[in-house]
Amino acid sequence: MKVRCSSLLFLLAAILITAGCTHNKTIEGFSATNWSEIGRQAIDAKRWNEALNAYNKAIDLNPNDASAYNNRGLAYDNLDKNDLAIADYEKAIELNPKYGDAFNNLAKTYGRRGYYKQAILFYDRVIELNPKDADAYYERGNAYNRLGDSRFANQDLKIAAKLGNIFAQKFFKEKGITW
């Protein structure tokens, strides 16, 4: 029994040490958080390939970081690698089902590709998560408009204008319509 307990304690100590080390992983001396920050700065500077490199490393270090997948998706999107962007947005949502930015980015990508029905479904989810998201109403209204559904388009554009979306407000002002 004494040997068994000491073996179990040794095994437990080894597991705890190993688990603790996973949080201190680095690549080239930088942590996942550092790589994500480098990626964010690269996105801000529109250096898409640099952002991809940084987010790849962040994800290697922390494969459960929904934000890193979402932001890598942005880089892919800006490099016109839509399928890879969509896969990353979907992974971000899988990791965090309430991640509104990932739903929004997914909706925009589908909309740009002309898949307006899919875009609308994802804008629905953005609005469900944040009913005051004026831009989501505006973009969903545009998607409805592209599908030829002016009733729902105008309804969403009016909500967007009321919530402060300047493009929706301008649209109605130019037409002399109050919202």
42 close to 68: Cβ distance less than 8 angstroms: no
Whole-angstrom distance, CA of residue 145 vs CA of residue 154: 8
**How many other CB atoms are found less than 10 A from the CB of residue 152?**
15
pLDDT at 28: 85
For residue range 8-48, list pLDDT tens digits in order: 334 334 443 344 444 579 888 889 999 999 999 999 999 99
For residue range 55-106, list pLDDT tens digits in order: 999 999 999 999 999 999 999 999 999 999 999 999 999 999 999 999 999 9
Question: Is the pLDDT at 1 greater than 80, yes or no?
Answer: no
CA-based Rg of the chain, rounded to a whole angstrom?
Answer: 22
Q: Domain with 176 in it: what CATH number?
A: 1.25.40.10
Both 155 and 122 in one domain: the answer is yes
Whole-angstrom distance, CA of residue 72 vs CA of residue 69: 5
Domain boundary among 44, 62, 97: 97
- Cα-based distances in Å from 61 to 33, 35, 74: 9, 9, 19
Question: Residue 57: which domain range?
Answer: 30-97
Whole-angstrom distance, CA of residue 119 vs CA of residue 109: 8
For residue range 122-150, list pLDDT tens digits in order: 999 999 999 999 999 999 999 999 999 99
Q: Is residue 105 part of a domain?
A: no
Q: Is residue 14 part of a domain?
A: no
Confidence (pTM):
0.82
pLDDT at 179: 83
Q: Is residue 15 part of a domain?
A: no
Q: Is residue 53 part of a domain?
A: yes
